[in-house]
């Protein structure tokens, strides 16, 4: 990257970066702006994928992907997206090729930075060669008419040189040397033709961004009368940052100017001083790099609820506590628990982070709650609160849900951990497992933690042959400067065998195609009564011939351990004999049963089966499951749509979902045979039969209506309370892809931004969920492996929200989701074999 010494950036919400060789600087300012209508083509996408993989080496995959998603542009020019503003010092321009590579890097991962450059060293060299001695007062260049004339020429030359270097790399750039900054004289008698910016015109920047070109600016300004004025580039970058409501801002200002800048930015802004070789780490990881300066809030710690404010604390618990949101606890129950023992509440003044530590006399303290807002996590406030806790307590235990999106944060701060029944127990300050077990036994006896963590370790010794995983860990001793390591098992890479029953339909065909790309799973048996004896075309890893497995064949295969997993892709009502056969075979074998994933509706309401929708329900339960019911396509989209707004539903009414699916969702029938007699599949509903329109069907009591309501009820504070969804399905004349429109009556006033934030918070870090401002359309979902949501609207009365979601009914609505569940249950990475 840039061959430099020190850099500066100001962060607001997230980080930015500045790179600088002495004495100049490159400063990045992250902000909001309109985005280009044109996106990078497929070649650039390949570059982006390559760069993304390289970024994984400097941060966790989740961190990198979250920041890439945050920094990437929207395709809707009417909606703002985040991008970077970069101030480049003149000395960096001498390394223009290397600079262009860095800017091209940002461009190719989806950022459209606005680049503002100086040219101080170049200007000094020219004016000195012409016998003019540079004159500075208070660090400001005194500018006369001759100096300004040279400055204009130098700025233009350096600007065009950078544009040419970018264009040479295939990165579109547009020179903008005037028309952005309007200024008055700073002090004409003292400084000459030096300006103080009074107005910024964003339109040239917006036009460049829309055209897919990086705007390359100089810091020259014009007065209202048309006089060109010289403006310090650092100051110009600062004014641009304020005008564009930055997320981050960087500049080589003095410390007093740091304070002045921070006084004009949101309190969450900060300044980071970093080295240039830390560019990617600063941009794409939570920890960032360098020295941080921030105008933050004071931290507090109180020993009573009254000192914090009961209403404020109650609201934080109601809004953020995962146990309360999941219905496992109530707000009142949480507060009543605090009456049982002394406690300390830690946090910051706006309560972006609240932590509660119980500390009975003579016992090890337990952090019972750590409740952070998104701002608290992204701005590092949670770490500041954590340091305050650690300063007070040399030993500490705490728990977190196994599906916590910030679970990695807990592992990084723990000396040991253990996961069981959907929760992880963490601790630091204790390094002997026997002591840990003794302490946990005391906790359970006194009711300080749930009775689920003993013994501290696997319930039985894991069998390496079967690939059984343990979830206990102790931190390994690490050398100074190395990364902390944990003994928790990594995702399995052990090859395993899977059989597919019911491969003739569209879903079966999609499954064989996906399994063909899986790095660890081998498809060994494919069963179809009609296609028995014919070769399987969609699978490329080995030659497979269709068979026609009977119930007896399945029982024998399970008894002899021929496969590790079964996928049942059969029509509704047909699966049970095959599942029963697997059960009988496993019983005779006397060892662990194979995993069964059923794509029909037969087991979606059955006790003993785990419902496999990882984005909403416990991933840990799926990992531990042997019998998994794959959700229906409409039901998946409906639940993902409703869940973020569930706590905002008006009592006594139903949300309504209007769904439209491609005709592949209606199933298949036998088609005319091929020339060699091979049977073919034809859609049950053809586009021609729809006459170019849509056909509503099953207008009440659709199976997915009942399925969605039944499982969403588990997310309510009282899961025993019945929950219903009004669902109206329609079939359309395209092949695959579902659009679902949710209309949700609200129990209070919300606006569209509030609604979008609920979805962003709910699905933060979910790799198969895409959140966009505009309405998802068919190209956003057809052939895609995830779920898209957008078009967030609220009625003018503020009492009804409308949100649009979509997925491919054969992929995220069936085959892709099946593979997610199979990966989890077999110990693989959840997304193994799924193109992301």
Q: What is the tens place of the pLDDT at every residue in 724-763?
A: 999 999 999 999 999 999 999 999 999 999 999 999 999 9
Question: Beta partners for 612?
Answer: none
Write the CB contacts of 573 (distance below 8 Å, at least 6 apart in sequence): 600, 602
| The pLDDT value given to residue 392 | 93
Structure tokens, 776: 């998802």
Confirm whether 633 is a catalytic residue: yes
CA atoms within 13 A on the CB side of 502: 21
Quick one: pLDDT at residue 197?
Answer: 93
Whether the full predicted model's pTM is greater than 0.75, yes or no, is no
Measured distance CA(410)–CA(93) in Å, rounded: 43
Question: Is 434 exposed, middle or buried, given 0-12, 13-18 or 19+ CB atoms closer than 10 A?
Answer: exposed
For each successive 10 residues of the chain (836 residues), what is the average pLDDT? 30 34 37 37 51 53 56 42 66 78 74 82 78 71 88 91 91 91 92 92 88 90 93 84 53 48 56 49 55 67 90 91 86 88 91 93 91 80 90 91 76 79 82 83 80 50 32 37 38 91 88 92 92 88 92 94 94 90 91 90 91 94 95 96 95 94 88 86 89 90 91 86 91 95 95 95 95 95 96 93 97 96 95 91
The residues facing 661 across adjacent strands are: 731, 738
Cα–Cα distance for residue pair 728/58, rounded to 1 Å: 47
Q: Nearest to residue 441, comparing CAs of 459, 453, 458? A: 453
Burial of 422 (0-12, 13-18, 19+ CB in 10 A): middle
In the structure encoding, which two tokens stand for residue 4, read together? 């430099």
Six token digits for residue 253: 């200002």
- Residue where the block lists tokens 């229906």: 632
Q: Which residue has the tokens 């039944």?
A: 710
pLDDT score, position 527: 93
Name the β-bridge partners of 497: 522
Q: How far apart are CA 609 and CA 629, in angstroms?
A: 6
Task: Answer whether 333's CB lies under 8 Å from 290's CB.
Answer: no
Contact at 8 Å (CB) between 366 and 448?
yes
Using the structure block, give the residue that is written with the tokens 């509503």: 696
Cβ neighbours for 87, distance < 8 A, ≥ 6 positions apart = 18, 25, 26, 27, 28, 29, 116, 117, 118, 233, 234, 236, 237, 250, 251
Cα angle 135-151-164, degrees, rounded to a multiple of 5:
140
Q: How far apart are CA 305 and CA 831, in angstroms?
A: 43
Using the structure block, give the residue that is written with the tokens 């849509």: 694
Nearest to 267 by CA among 11, 7, 8: 11
The predicted pLDDT at position 567 comes to 97
Three-state DSSP at 226 gives: coil
How much is the pLDDT for 209? Answer: 84
pLDDT, residue 25, reads 39
The token pair that represents 584 in the structure block: 């009988």
Radius of gyration of the chain (CA): 30
Write phi, then psi, for 192 (nearest 5 degrees).
80, -135
> Strand 473-474 vs strand 668-671: parallel, antiparallel, or unpaired?
unpaired
Dihedral sign computed on CA atoms, order 612, 615, 617, 618: positive
- From the number of C-beta atoms within 10 Å of its C-beta (0-12, 13-18, 19+), residue 81 rates as buried
What helix, strand, coil percent values describe the chain, rounded to 5? 35, 25, 40
Residue 671, C-beta contacts closer than 8 angstroms, at least 6 positions apart:
679, 680, 681, 682
Buried b (16+ CB within 10 A) or exposed e, 157-168: ebbeebbebbee
What number of other Cβ atoms are within 10 A of residue 339's Cβ?
Answer: 8
* Nearest C-alpha neighbor of 164 from the set 155, 154, 175, 153: 175
What is the spatial distance between Cα 533 and Cα 258, in angstroms, rounded to a whole number? 75
* Catalytic pick among 633, 742, 804, 810: 633
Based on the number of CB atoms within 10 Å of its own CB, is 404 exposed (0-12), middle (13-18) or buried (19 or more)? middle
């Amino acid at each position: 990257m840039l061959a430099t010494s020190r850099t500066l950036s100001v962060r607001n919400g997230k980080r930015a970066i500045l790179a600088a060789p002495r004495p100049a600087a490159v400063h990045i300012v992250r902000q909001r702006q309109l985005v280009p209508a044109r996106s990078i083509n497929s070649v650039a996408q390949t570059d982006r994928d390559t760069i993304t993989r390289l970024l994984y080496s400097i941060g966790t995959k989740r961190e990198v992907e979250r920041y890439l998603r945050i920094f990437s542009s929207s395709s809707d020019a009417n909606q703002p997206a985040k991008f970077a503003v970069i101030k480049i010092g003149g000395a960096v321009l001498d390394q223009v090729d290397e600079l262009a590579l860095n800017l091209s890097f940002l461009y190719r991962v989806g950022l459209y930075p606005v680049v503002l450059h100086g040219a101080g060293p170049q200007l000094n060299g020219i004016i000195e060669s012409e016998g003019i001695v540079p004159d500075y007062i208070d660090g400001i260049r005194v500018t006369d008419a001759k100096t300004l004339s040279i400055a204009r020429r130098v700025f233009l030359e350096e600007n065009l040189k950078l544009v040419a270097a970018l264009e040479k790399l295939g990165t579109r750039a547009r020179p903008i040397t005037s028309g952005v900054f309007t200024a008055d004289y700073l002090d004409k008698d003292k400084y000459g033709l030096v300006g103080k910016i009074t107005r910024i015109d964003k339109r040239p920047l917006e036009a460049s961004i829309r055209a897919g070109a990086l705007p390359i600016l100089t810091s020259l300004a014009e007065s209202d009368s048309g006089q060109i004025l010289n403006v310090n580039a650092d100051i110009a970058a600062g004014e641009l940052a304020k005008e564009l409501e930055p997320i981050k801002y960087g500049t080589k200002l003095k410390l007093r100017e740091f304070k002045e800048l921070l006084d004009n930015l949101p309190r969450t802004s900060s300044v980071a001083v970093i080295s240039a070789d830390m560019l990617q780490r600063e941009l794409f990881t939570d920890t960032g790099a360098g020295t941080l300066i921030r105008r933050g809030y004071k931290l507090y710690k109180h020993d009573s609820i009254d000192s914090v404010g009961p209403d404020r604390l109650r609201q934080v618990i109601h809004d953020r506590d995962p146990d309360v949101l999941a219905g496992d606890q109530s707000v009142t129950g949480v507060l009543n628990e605090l009456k049982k023992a002394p406690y300390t509440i830690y946090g910051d003044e706006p309560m972006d982070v609240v932590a509660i530590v119980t500390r009975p006399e003579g016992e090890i303290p337990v952090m019972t709650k750590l409740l952070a807002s998104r701002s608290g996590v992204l701005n590092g406030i949670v770490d500041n609160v954590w340091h305050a806790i650690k300063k007070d307590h040399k030993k500490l235990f705490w728990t977190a849900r196994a599906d916590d999106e910030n679970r990695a944060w807990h592992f990084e701060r723990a000396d040991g951990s253990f996961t069981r029944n959907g929760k992880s127990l963490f601790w630091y300050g204790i390094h002997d497992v026997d002591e840990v077990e003794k302490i946990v036994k005391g906790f359970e006896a006194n009711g300080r933690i749930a009775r689920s963590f003993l013994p501290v370790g696997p319930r039985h010794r894991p069998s390496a042959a079967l690939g059984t995983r343990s979830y206990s860990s102790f931190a390994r001793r690490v050398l100074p400067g190395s990364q902390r390591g944990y003994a928790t098992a990594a995702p399995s890479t052990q090859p395993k065998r899977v059989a597919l029953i019911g491969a003739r339909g569209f879903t079966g065909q999609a499954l064989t195609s996906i399994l063909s790309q899986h790095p660890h799973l081998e498809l060994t048996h494919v069963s179809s009564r009609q296609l028995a004896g014919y070769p399987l075309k969609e699978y490329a890893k080995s030659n497979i011939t269709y068979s026609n497995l009977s119930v007896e064949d399945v029982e024998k295969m399970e008894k002899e351990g021929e496969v590790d997993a079964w996928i049942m892709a059969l029509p509704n009502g047909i699966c049970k004999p095959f599942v029963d056969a697997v059960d009988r075979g496993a019983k005779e074998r006397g060892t662990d049963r194979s995993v069964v994933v059923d794509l029909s509706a037969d087991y979606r309401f059955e006790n003993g089966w785990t419902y496999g929708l990882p984005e909403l329900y416990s991933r840990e339960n799926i990992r531990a499951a042997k019998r998994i019911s794959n959700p229906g396509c409409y039901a998946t989209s409906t639940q993902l749509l409703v869940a973020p707004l569930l706590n905002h539903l008006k009592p006594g009414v139903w949300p309504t979902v209007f769904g439209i699916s491609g005709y592949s969702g209606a199933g298949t029938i036998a088609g005319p045979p091929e020339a060699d007699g091979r049977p073919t599949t034809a859609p049950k509903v053809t586009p021609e039969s729809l006459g170019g329109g849509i056909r509503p069907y099953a207008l009440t009591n659709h199976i997915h209506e009942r399925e969605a309501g039944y499982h969403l009820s588990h997310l309510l504070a009282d899961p025993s309370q019945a929950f219903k969804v009004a669902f109206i399905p329609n079939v359309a004349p395209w092949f695959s892809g579902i659009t679902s429109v949710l209309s949700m009556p609200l129990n209070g006033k919300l606006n569209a931004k509030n609604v979008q934030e609920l979805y962003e918070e709910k699905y933060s870090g979910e790799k198969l969920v895409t959140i966009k401002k505009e309405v998802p359309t068919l190209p956003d979902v057809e052939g895609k492996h995830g779920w898209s949501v957008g078009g967030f609207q609220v009625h003018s009365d503020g009492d009804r929200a409308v949100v649009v979601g979509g997925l491919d009914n054969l992929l995220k609505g069936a085959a892709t989701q099946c593979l997610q569940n199979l990966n989890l249950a077999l110990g693989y990475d959840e997304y193994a074999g799924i193109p992301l």
